[in-house]
A and B are shown apart, each in its own frame.
Chain A
């Protein structure tokens, strides 16, 4: 009877079996690690946008909607990003488990590691003020993004109940501007009765949230205007600079406008600018 070793060597030679190259296994191993890192990055970005959305949610407006606090939380949760975060945490976990030594760790430890890495990365990016940029990039690259994530805008689209949000498209005069809401309807917004501490600089292309009263089919009397984004002012500053022109912007800064704009846009819920700059008044 033929020895097993002879039979195996015969098969190796007959079928020309050869060891797979070392590079094949190295590439396989690196791919698993690369996918793990990529998943952590995507998870981090998802967490960044979740944080950005939650911090920019106005936790005091639920009373205008006539709903409870928890119903409001349910309404504004960034579900799309929560699903993406969960999905990529699982992908990260799966890839880590498939690294050479990944099996040595318990499921919860690997999962915890993925969660912590994504959260730290997301929080770090948030600290660097990348939340809005990330969301704007998502608008460009994620198909149907607005449909998937328009919950926050929709929460503010209740003109009958005194809530309106959208993009300023044109300044009619010092107290009137045109605003396009999330459904493309253009509203004429009257800011004449807005108290100074509840007013922000009205500049075309800036997105704002307004509390007030619907006065006509497409007319809205504002009582309070809030910037759409509170977490950092880079985007709004850029818009203001574009609108005002370089020279005017420099004057505005010299007058202390930048300081006040920052102060205004970094405010937490319920707080608004206490004083408008002269530059704004001149506008």
Chain B
């Protein structure tokens, strides 16, 4: 049994896992909640499917441990693997539910409240029921950047590493996601409804 696991860095845990597969449990335990939540937020699948996806993600992480590049944050690397698994699952199963759960949508807007005036106004006037429906009409890549930015609280650099896109592109995607959201609100005349 390894002592003081909490004090160990991700990189140290990777080395330990490579020395002995039993040590891989520390990485699983450190990330299962975060990755599970992330999968839930972007994939909108059932809890059972989240469990399956989580298992796939961690097996893939284990297989590819030697590919982990210390120039990258381990969390970005594991989020990237989770993102890829969700995308391939989503491509395989076109019938998967694509609706964000309302509490998650509300969470996005609660966080956005602090960060963006436009979203703040919306959240102040609505319990989120109308708003989360609109969020679900966004393209996956838009929804994903919003989740990573506002729910997972990732920096632009981390989002760029996770989605394997240039930072400038990430900034553009976030802006477009917000813009598209605003357009839908205006088209649906949601502003008036909310008043």
Of A4, A12, A19, chain B has the most CB atoms within 10 Å of the CB of: A19
Please name all residues of chain B whose beta carbon is closer than 8 Å to the beta carbon of A239 when the two chains form the complex. Answer: none
Q: Interface stretch among A84-92, A101-109, A128-136, A271-279?
A: A101-109
Bound CA span A249–B28, Å: 80
User: B9 at the A/B interface (Cβ < 8 Å)?
Assistant: no
For the complex formed, measure the closest distance between the CB of B156 and the CB atoms of chain A, giving whole angstroms.
12
Of B29, B32, B66, B168, chain A has the most CB atoms within 10 Å of the CB of: B66
> Could you mark each residue 149-168 of chain B with 1 if its beta carbon is under 8 Å from any beta carbon of chain A, else 0?
00000000000100011111
* Contact status B21-A103, CB under 8 Å: no
* Contact status A19-B65, CB under 8 Å: yes
* Chain A residue at minimal CB-CB distance from B57: A8
Please name all residues of chain B whose beta carbon is closer than 8 Å to the beta carbon of A24 when the two chains form the complex. Answer: 66
* Contact status A12-B59, CB under 8 Å: yes
User: B51 at the A/B interface (Cβ < 8 Å)?
Assistant: yes
Partner of B166, one of A12, A13, A105: A105
Please name all residues of chain A whose beta carbon is closer than 8 Å to the beta carbon of B51 when the two chains form the complex. Answer: 4
Answer whether A4 and B32 are a contact pair too, CB < 8 Å, given A9-B24, A11-B59, A20-B67.
yes
User: A281 at the A/B interface (Cβ < 8 Å)?
Assistant: no
Please name all residues of chain B whose beta carbon is closer than 8 Å to the beta carbon of A13 when the two chains form the complex. Answer: 21
> Could you mark each residue 11-25 of chain B with 1 if its beta carbon is under 8 Å from any beta carbon of chain A, else 0?
000000010011011
List A residues 84-122 near B (Cβ within 8 Å).
Answer: 100-101, 103-106
* Contact status A25-B67, CB under 8 Å: yes
Partner of B55, one of A8, A18, A25: A8
Of A5, A20, A22, A106, chain B has the most CB atoms within 10 Å of the CB of: A5
User: B95 at the A/B interface (Cβ < 8 Å)?
Assistant: no
* Chain A residue at minimal CB-CB distance from B14: A19
Q: How many residues of B contact A (CB 8 A)?
A: 28
* Contact status B28-A4, CB under 8 Å: yes
Answer whether A17 and B59 are a contact pair too, CB < 8 Å, given A5-B25, A5-B28, A103-B164.
yes
User: B169 at the A/B interface (Cβ < 8 Å)?
Assistant: yes
> Could you mark each residue 73-84 of chain A with 1 if its beta carbon is under 8 Å from any beta carbon of chain B, else 0?
000000000000
* Contact status A100-B69, CB under 8 Å: yes
User: A7 at the A/B interface (Cβ < 8 Å)?
Assistant: yes
Please name all residues of chain A whose beta carbon is closer than 8 Å to the beta carbon of B67 when the two chains form the complex. Answer: 20, 25
Please name all residues of chain B whose beta carbon is closer than 8 Å to the beta carbon of A21 when the two chains form the complex. Answer: 66
Bound CA span A12–B164, Å: 28
Of A4, A25, A100, A101, chain B has the most CB atoms within 10 Å of the CB of: A4
* Contact status A8-B24, CB under 8 Å: yes
Of A4, A8, A17, A18, chain B has the most CB atoms within 10 Å of the CB of: A8
> Could you mark each residue 136-157 of chain B with 1 if its beta carbon is under 8 Å from any beta carbon of chain A, else 0?
0000000000000000000000
For the complex formed, measure the closest distance between the CB of A275 and the CB atoms of chain B, giving whole angstroms.
61
User: B38 at the A/B interface (Cβ < 8 Å)?
Assistant: no
* Contact status B25-A9, CB under 8 Å: yes
User: B119 at the A/B interface (Cβ < 8 Å)?
Assistant: no
* Chain B residue at minimal CB-CB distance from A25: B67
Bound CA span A166–B169, Å: 55
Please name all residues of chain A whose beta carbon is closer than 8 Å to the beta carbon of B62 when the two chains form the complex. Answer: 8, 12, 17, 19
Please name all residues of chain B whose beta carbon is closer than 8 Å to the beta carbon of A9 when the two chains form the complex. Answer: 21-22, 24-25, 28
List B residues 161-181 near A (Cβ within 8 Å).
Answer: 164-169
Please name all residues of chain A whose beta carbon is closer than 8 Å to the beta carbon of B58 when the two chains form the complex. Answer: 4, 8
For the complex formed, measure the closest distance between the CB of B179 and the CB atoms of chain A, giving whole angstroms.
20
* Chain B residue at minimal CB-CB distance from A9: B25
- Chain B positions within 8 Å of A, measured between CB atoms, are 18, 21-22, 24-25, 28-29, 32, 51, 54-55, 58-59, 62-67, 69, 71, 160, 164-169
**4 closest cross-chain pairs (CB), A and B:** A103-B164, A5-B25, A5-B28, A22-B66
- Chain A positions within 8 Å of B, measured between CB atoms, are 4-9, 11-13, 17-22, 24-25, 100-101, 103-106
